[in-house]
A and B are shown apart, each in its own frame.
Chain A
Amino acid sequence: MKKAEPFVSTTNACKMCTPMGAALAFKGLEGCVPFLHGSQGCATYMRRYIISHFREPMDIASSSLGEKDAVYGGKANLMQGLLNVIGKYKAQAVGIATTCLTETIGDDVSMILHEFKKECLAGLNGDMPALVHVSTPSYGGSHMEGFHAAVRAMTGQLADPEAAKHDGVNLFSGFVSPEDIRHLQDIFAHFGLPMTILPDYSETLDGPALEDYQNIPGGGTPLDAVRAMSGARASIEFGRTIKPDLSAGEVLREKYGVTHHSLGLPIGLRESDALFTTLESLAGCAAPRRYALERGQLLDAMVDGHKYVAGKKAVVYGEEDLVVGITSFLSEIGVKPVLVASGGESGGLSEAIAAVTEEFPGEPPLVRDGVDFYQIVAEAEALEPDLVVGNSKGYRGLARARNIPLIRVGFPIHDRFGSQRVLHVGYRGALNLYDMIVNALIKKKQDDSPIGYGYI
């Protein structure tokens, strides 16, 4: 699937590194401080990158290994670092992700944590926070593998084997925006379905103005709710390309027999339908009228606007699950996805794209995984796209170079305001995307026109 181009180097990567995904996921657990076991630079780099998108504080602690530690192992630094974080942050949980460095020198983090718990419990007055750890060498995947691995680690390591059975539903929503998370929570509430969403960074990464700085921002999935996940009646997980060994839903199914529904990210009509029908069957009743209405409004918009988008060609790039959802939606509205690309390499992209595009006639899109922007730009050249859908990083090479609009979705959005509030999911998310797409195309036409109609 990756083009036979013999490049060994990567130019302008279309992915981020594994621990960053893990840090983001840990940020969605209540009272949790993400902690990178490695050298200082990685944490600082990632913080800056994340902050530029969310415009929120993003603390990531680091064990700050120096040269000596890299040779003799990072155990002392990890333990000291944990003590400091727990002491100063009063963290209820610490999410520890390894980095390339500590994976390469071979630190055995589970063993170190085991010792830490034994040795330091007394020092912490018996107040040991939940310690979750995940192994995330960046050379083992992209930020999405890190994200999923961290969600799976939180679930697997925190869920209580003895948890009482309850009526709640677990939702593993994947790497969506804070606005998406809030919308999903509303949907479940309107269905009357109790749910636990993990991770929930809807507040930690989109918080209110404050009078007093909080060491750890409020919000996040409550620890007790995660502990109770093993007793839930079902799990739903978004992401067609998540492999079973990275799936949190699978862990709960295997270990505790929780029914698992694996769905695509609910972007566009059909993927949202899949979510709502699943919710209907779980709730045992019809979707609240407001969603029937939203679905109808979406369809109405798709009809009203179909000529603006008809036959337009799009390049889509970003995380694999996101581009599957976007491609699915574009196909529904009559935009032709000509190239679908990702830096991720789950191995499942082609199949997922085929599944969401097969009902439409015509050439299926070119699908490229494991590619960088240099390859995407080169490939887009001959395809003459009319628009681009993805994060900010394709702006210069794809959108600006060709003078075509970029619809900013996903992460990172470093060149627009309100990235945390972009709604992608559900019928309402689809409407939002639809408005953005149609308006971008209208604006392009208007800007290019010598006449300058104010009526299009």
Chain B
Amino acid sequence: MEPVIFEERKAQIQRKGAKGAEPFSISCNKNSLAGAVSQRACVFCGSRVVLYPIADALHLVHGPIGCAVYNWDIRGAMSSGPELHRLSFSTDLREKDVIFGGEKKLYQALLELIDLHKPNAAFVYSTCIVGIIGDDLKAVCKKVEAEKGIPVIPVQSEGFKGNKREGYLAACQAMFTLVGTGDTSAISPLSVNILGDFNLAGEIWIIQDYLRRMGVEVVANITGDGRVEEVRRAHGAALNLVQCSGATMDLAKMMQQKYGIPFKKVSYFGIEDMSDALYEVAKFFEDKDPEIMTRTRELVREELRDLYPKLQLLRKDLVGKKAAIYVGGAFKAFSLVKSFRHLGIDVVMVGSQTGTQEDYQELAEITDEGTIVVDDTNPLELSAFIKEKDVDIFVGGVKERPIAYKLGVGFCDHNHERKEALEGFLGMYNFAKEVHATVTSPVWNFTPRRRKSPIASPDVPACAATGRVS
């Protein structure tokens, strides 16, 4: 096989067990290599992903039009009420704004949009250009806030200042300015905030339902189906449940520091992680409510009673198949590895865009010998891995789908644009169904890597056209 690994990227790819006794190490969180086609997004994208689902806020992108237009209503973050977040607002900077500065335009845009849409807060995202032309975002926001009487919060998300991770931090800092400004008087002692769930395909509602059945109040959804008022009173919750290693961890840490709210890292993907998450919550509140553990066990039992037979049915067809995983956050990769195990599928490649050294270490620990672990990869590498490992299913985002399909590999969309709920016990079933649907499709019998085309052999001269040519 032709080597497709860029020399400079060698350290970002590791094979488990390949180096014998050497400790597993991978370098990551570097800026993407120039000229490689990275799947990685920018700071702004990170901030936008996190804050976007806050449905009653105005999200104004201060920059040229592209930065706003490519993420307009492409994510399935659902709201049970207002849907202001589904509109795409931009200052649409033009040449003269770039030359003379965009502050005035930003100011006017904020005034008109706030008057028109009456949001409960406004987030103003800065993009690369704004960082260069030096608009004073903070000053403009402050001025509008004073005039309009709603929080107007600058998000310092200039794209070039790093990758998505920095964007998550900027988003957390922005939200943190809201936390602590609301009334917390009526909040139950058994209460949590759900952090890092974006309510894709209504997932947060699944989790909320479990918590409700356990007797736990959810104070703030951060940010799926989110509301400004909820974020303001989030400091009244007894516990923060943080999903996904990256996106909202910073906010949890800030809240711990300032308000002493402990947090737990959880994942809602897959059977173990979902149950563990609920048990953790039950354990945490056990001293306040001794019955909660019993209720939780009953809940999990009930859900599993329903789920198991259905999974077994699907598993029959999946045992021994091989999976490759490439997702945004490494935390999700952990859950996926475990979920595939339930389905009898071996994970032969796993990677993420934003994992840390520890994440990759942990991934290496839970996967089998020979599994490829990779940080911030590109299509060339992905396709080489898929071929080398003869993968049956690839889990990734929308950018990976065409690569998998081109090579005749099944695919499951596990990124922010997914339209199927994959969280919770219900989500595990949906996931299994999706995996089953793609892996067992008859089309793989016919794709070129499995069956050669019977026509148009290159060894035989092609026929020349005649007849109805004119």
Query: A105 contacts which chain B residues (CB < 8 A)?
Result: 132
- Closest chain B residue to A39, Cβ basis: B160
- The answer to whether B41 and A41 touch across the interface, beta carbons within 8 angstroms, is yes
- CB under 8 Å from chain B, chain A span 201-218: 207, 209-213, 215
Query: Interface readout for A276-295 with B: 1 if CB under 8 Å, 0 if not?
Result: 00000000000011100000
Tell yes or no: A145 within 8 A of B by CB: no
- The answer to whether A63 and B35 touch across the interface, beta carbons within 8 angstroms, is yes
- CB under 8 Å from chain B, chain A span 1-50: 6-13, 15-20, 35, 38-49
Tell yes or no: B89 within 8 A of A by CB: yes
Complex Cα distance, B86 from A393, in Å, reads: 12
Q: Which of B37, B45, B63, B67 neighbours the largest number of chain A CB atoms within 10 Å of its CB?
A: B37
Complex Cα distance, B38 from A35, in Å, reads: 12
Taking a contact as CB atoms closer than 8 A, the residue among B71, B112, B386 that contacts A45 in the complex is: B71
- The answer to whether B35 and A15 touch across the interface, beta carbons within 8 angstroms, is no
Complex Cα distance, B37 from A81, in Å, reads: 10
- The answer to whether B36 and A61 touch across the interface, beta carbons within 8 angstroms, is yes
Query: A85 contacts which chain B residues (CB < 8 A)?
Result: 35
Tell yes or no: B304 within 8 A of A by CB: no
Query: Interface readout for B150-183 with A: 1 if CB under 8 Å, 0 if not?
Result: 0000000011111100000000000000000000
Query: B44 contacts which chain A residues (CB < 8 A)?
Result: 41
- The answer to whether B108 and A66 touch across the interface, beta carbons within 8 angstroms, is no
Query: B470 contacts which chain A residues (CB < 8 A)?
Result: 190, 288-290
A14 CB → nearest B CB, Å: 9
- The answer to whether B40 and A40 touch across the interface, beta carbons within 8 angstroms, is yes
Given contacts A41-B42, A62-B32, contact A139 B93 (CB under 8 A): yes
Query: Interface readout for A142-153 with B: 1 if CB under 8 Å, 0 if not?
Result: 100000000000
- Closest chain A residue to B111, Cβ basis: A8
Tell yes or no: A77 within 8 A of B by CB: yes
Given contacts A9-B113, A70-B160, contact A213 B383 (CB under 8 A): yes
Tell yes or no: B131 within 8 A of A by CB: yes
Q: Which of B108, B384, B399, B408 neighbours the largest number of chain A CB atoms within 10 Å of its CB?
A: B399
- Closest chain A residue to B378, Cβ basis: A59
A99 CB → nearest B CB, Å: 8
Query: Interface readout for B386-408 with A: 1 if CB under 8 Å, 0 if not?
Result: 11000000000111011101111
- Closest chain A residue to B5, Cβ basis: A88
Tell yes or no: A263 within 8 A of B by CB: no
- The answer to whether A70 and B131 touch across the interface, beta carbons within 8 angstroms, is yes
Tell yes or no: A251 within 8 A of B by CB: no
Query: Interface readout for A328-349 with B: 1 if CB under 8 Å, 0 if not?
Result: 0000000000000000000000
- The answer to whether A10 and B89 touch across the interface, beta carbons within 8 angstroms, is yes
Tell yes or no: B260 within 8 A of A by CB: no
- The answer to whether B35 and A396 touch across the interface, beta carbons within 8 angstroms, is no
- Closest chain B residue to A57, Cβ basis: B402
Complex Cα distance, B32 from A64, in Å, reads: 6
Complex Cα distance, B322 from A384, in Å, reads: 54
Tell yes or no: A140 within 8 A of B by CB: yes
Complex Cα distance, B70 from A60, in Å, reads: 15
Number of interface residues of A (CB under 8 A): 79
Complex Cα distance, B64 from A9, in Å, reads: 11
Given contacts A13-B68, A190-B469, contact A51 B159 (CB under 8 A): no
- CB under 8 Å from chain A, chain B span 345-398: 379-380, 383-384, 386-387, 397-398
Complex Cα distance, B138 from A187, in Å, reads: 58
Query: B32 contacts which chain A residues (CB < 8 A)?
Result: 40, 62, 64
Complex Cα distance, B105 from A6, in Å, reads: 12
B359 CB → nearest A CB, Å: 21
Given contacts A8-B105, A51-B398, A63-B35, contact A396 B66 (CB under 8 A): no
Query: A38 contacts which chain B residues (CB < 8 A)?
Result: 128
Query: B462 contacts which chain A residues (CB < 8 A)?
Result: none
Complex Cα distance, B35 from A59, in Å, reads: 11
- Closest chain B residue to A35, Cβ basis: B35
Taking a contact as CB atoms closer than 8 A, the residue among A9, A51, A142 that contacts B89 in the complex is: A9
Tell yes or no: A138 within 8 A of B by CB: yes
Query: Interface readout for A180-212 with B: 1 if CB under 8 Å, 0 if not?
Result: 000000000110000000000000000101111
Tell yes or no: B299 within 8 A of A by CB: no
- The answer to whether A58 and B402 touch across the interface, beta carbons within 8 angstroms, is yes
Query: Interface readout for A407-436 with B: 1 if CB under 8 Å, 0 if not?
Result: 000000010000000000000000000000
- The answer to whether A13 and B379 touch across the interface, beta carbons within 8 angstroms, is no
Query: A138 contacts which chain B residues (CB < 8 A)?
Result: 64-66
A107 CB → nearest B CB, Å: 12
Tell yes or no: A380 within 8 A of B by CB: no
- The answer to whether A59 and B108 touch across the interface, beta carbons within 8 angstroms, is no
Query: A20 contacts which chain B residues (CB < 8 A)?
Result: 66
- The answer to whether A40 and B163 touch across the interface, beta carbons within 8 angstroms, is yes
- The answer to whether A45 and B66 touch across the interface, beta carbons within 8 angstroms, is yes
Complex Cα distance, B296 from A79, in Å, reads: 59
- The answer to whether A77 and B469 touch across the interface, beta carbons within 8 angstroms, is no
- The answer to whether A9 and B34 touch across the interface, beta carbons within 8 angstroms, is no
Complex Cα distance, B383 from A13, in Å, reads: 35
- Closest chain B residue to A70, Cβ basis: B160
Taking a contact as CB atoms closer than 8 A, the residue among A52, A89, A211 that contacts B449 in the complex is: A211
Tell yes or no: B109 within 8 A of A by CB: yes
Tell yes or no: B6 within 8 A of A by CB: yes
Query: B70 contacts which chain A residues (CB < 8 A)?
Result: 16, 45-46, 48-49
Given contacts A101-B160, A104-B133, contact A57 B65 (CB under 8 A): no
B37 CB → nearest A CB, Å: 4
- The answer to whether B399 and A44 touch across the interface, beta carbons within 8 angstroms, is yes
Q: Which of B16-24, B94-102, B195-203, B224-232 makes up part of the contact surface?
A: B94-102
A68 CB → nearest B CB, Å: 9
Q: Which of B35, B403, B405, B408 neighbours the largest number of chain A CB atoms within 10 Å of its CB?
A: B35
Tell yes or no: A261 within 8 A of B by CB: no
Complex Cα distance, B159 from A61, in Å, reads: 16
- The answer to whether B66 and A12 touch across the interface, beta carbons within 8 angstroms, is no
Q: List 3 A-B pairs, minimum CB-CB distance, nearest first.
A: A41-B42, A17-B66, A81-B35
Given contacts A9-B90, A190-B469, 16 further A-B contacts (CB under 8 A): A13-B65, A13-B68, A39-B128, A40-B159, A44-B399, A48-B398, A59-B379, A63-B34, A70-B131, A77-B34, A82-B35, A85-B35, A88-B4, A101-B129, A137-B95, A139-B64
- 6 inter-chain pairs at a CB distance below 8 angstroms, sorted by A residue, are A11-B113, A41-B128, A43-B37, A56-B402, A64-B35, A88-B4
